[in-house]
Amino acid sequence: MINVGIIGSTGYAGSELVRLLSNHRHVCIKSVCSKSYAGNMYKNVYPNFNPSDLVCEADDMEKLAKECDVIFLALPHGEASRRVNADILDKCRIIDLGADFRLQNIDVYESWYCEHYSKDILKEAVYGLCEINREKIKGRRIIGNPGCYTTCSILSLYPLVKEGLIEPDSIIIDAKSGVSGAGRGLSAANLFCEVNESVKAYKIASHRHTPEIEEQLSYACGREITISFTPHLIPMNRGILATCYASLTSDADYDRLREAYEKYYGNEYFIRIMDKGVFPETRWVKNSNFFDVGFTVDKRTNRVIAVGAIDNLFKGAAGQAVQNMNILFGFDEKEGIGFIPPFPV
């Protein structure tokens, strides 16, 4: 058994973490921390946890580091880099669901987010996209858990970029997310009447997941690349669908592209490559850690169109964080998250 703590446990991603870790055979939840709800029973914040006896606590990073084998952070950007330091890492491992340890280029991070306060330990962090960086994750002390849009977008395109089958600078990603991706905080833009019966693009040419996608696909490509990324908000609770377009570098057909996906994902439990002519739907991955991908070749334009789908709170956040923990501690990677999603939902 390992002891875990969750800081930021009452946000949507935090509550999903508590739910998954509560059913993990090798985990003892030592503490659930919440700035807003300290002193409250967790089941009073989220009644679906009844009859849990967990109580929200004010977070004390130093205390948690002494008591826990791993601490999950589900905090706004800038908070993790303020709190995590070398002394903390000497005591426990950190899995950060925020943005602070995802980008290795500090200048890029600070241009898109804010000042980074842990520059001395940033080089220790590994990007926790499990199916791509599994070997790098093993043995590390700090994991930057990928963002939701980025997980879906990168996994949709990685084999094609890695194999040189597409022109990287031609990539266009049109992605759509359920409203839970905006978090649990109050915002007029996310009220039911503002979201229902409507679809809208937002943060056009300025979404903070853009540099994350670019950095990781640049590693795959072997050079820096620039993409076009446009997110949309749709009136559903959870899920992401990313439709990705790119120009082919040759006249590669469907079978050649299929070979590339099978090469990198053929043995991955959590990645499901759709049959020819079948394209993912968010309802097929809802409440699961699966990533589904389908693709086709548009011969008329010599482009590939790849469509990926995930649950933004699961594979896009808490589920992937648990998957990272399983890799770090040598557990079965599917432990606590390997179940088939329910249907209908």
Residues that are catalytic? 148
CA 243 to chain centre: 17
Alpha helices by DSSP H, 247-345: 254-265, 319-328
Diameter of the chain measured on Cα atoms: 62
Task: Identify whether the C-beta of residue 242 lies closer than 8 Å to the C-beta of residue 152.
Answer: yes
Within 8 A by CB and 6+ apart from 142, the residues are 84, 89, 93, 94, 95, 96, 101, 121, 124, 125, 126
Give, in order, the Cα–Cα distances in Å from 167 to each of 154, 160, 233.
15, 9, 28
Asked if 157 and 246 touch (Cβ cutoff 8 Å), the reply is yes
The secondary element (H helix, E strand) that includes residue 96 is strand 93-96
Ordered alpha helix ranges (H), the chain:
12-22, 42-45, 61-67, 79-83, 86-91, 106-112, 119-122, 130-137, 148-162, 192-195, 210-221, 254-265, 319-328
Long-range contacts of 263-268 (CB under 8 A, 24+ apart): 263/159, 263/163, 264/131, 264/132, 264/158, 264/159, 264/162, 265/131, 265/159, 265/293, 268/131
CB 285 within 8 A of CB 293: no
User: How many whole angstroms separate alpha carbon 108 and alpha carbon 237?
Assistant: 31
CA dist., res. 157 & res. 306, Å (int): 7
**What's the length of the chain?**
345
Of the candidates 9, 150, 86, 68, which has an alpha carbon nearest to the alpha carbon of residue 325? 68
The residues near 264 (Cβ < 8 Å, ≥ 6 apart) are 131, 132, 158, 159, 162
